[in-house]
Amino acid sequence: MNNLGRHLLAEFYDCESQVLDNVKWVEEQMNTAAILSGATVIQSSFHRFLPYGVSGVVVISESHLSIHTWPEYGYAAVDLFTCGDHVDPWKAFDFLCNTFGSQRTSVDELIRGRYSEIGIDPASPFKAIV
C-alpha cells in the first residue's frame, strides 16, 4: 500500500424505507459493517431526526464509517474511510448494500494520503523522504 487510507463515498438508492428510519437498527448494521471490514470499533453515535431520518458515525481505530438516511426517498449517503492494509472498506460496502436492500448504488473510491504526496518513503514509512 502506498497511501494512508481509502475512502468510499457511497450512495444507496431504492432501499427499504422502514429500515432507514430505525436508528437502533442502522447503528447495529453500521457497527457490523465495521467489524466485517476488519476494523476495530471504538464507539458509535447515532441520532434519529423528526419526522424521519438517521445520521451517525462509527469511530474505528482505522478512521470512521458514517451515514445519513432519507427514508422518505429510500436513500442513504454513506462514507467508509479506512486506513491500514488489514481493513477492506469494500466488505462494509457490500454488507450495507445487501442489508439496506439497495436496488442500485453509486460509489467512488478516493485514495487518501498518497505517500509520494506527503513525503513518506514506502520502504520506511516512519521516515520522511529527504
Residue 104, SS3 per DSSP: strand
Exposure string of 58-89, with b = 16+ CB inside 10 Å and e = fewer, is: bbbebbbbbbbbbbeebbbebbbbbbbeebbb
Of the residues 66, 83, 97, 102, only one is catalytic, namely 83
Burial of 5 (0-12, 13-18, 19+ CB in 10 A): middle
Residue 5: partners with Cβ closer than 8 Å, 6 or more residues away: 62, 63, 81, 82, 83, 84, 111, 112, 113
* 37 given a catalytic annotation: no
* 83 given a catalytic annotation: yes
Cell numbers for 122 = 514506502
* 63 given a catalytic annotation: yes
Cell numbers for 77 = 449517503
Of the residues 7, 37, 44, 63, only one is catalytic, namely 63
Residues identified as active-site? 63, 68, 83
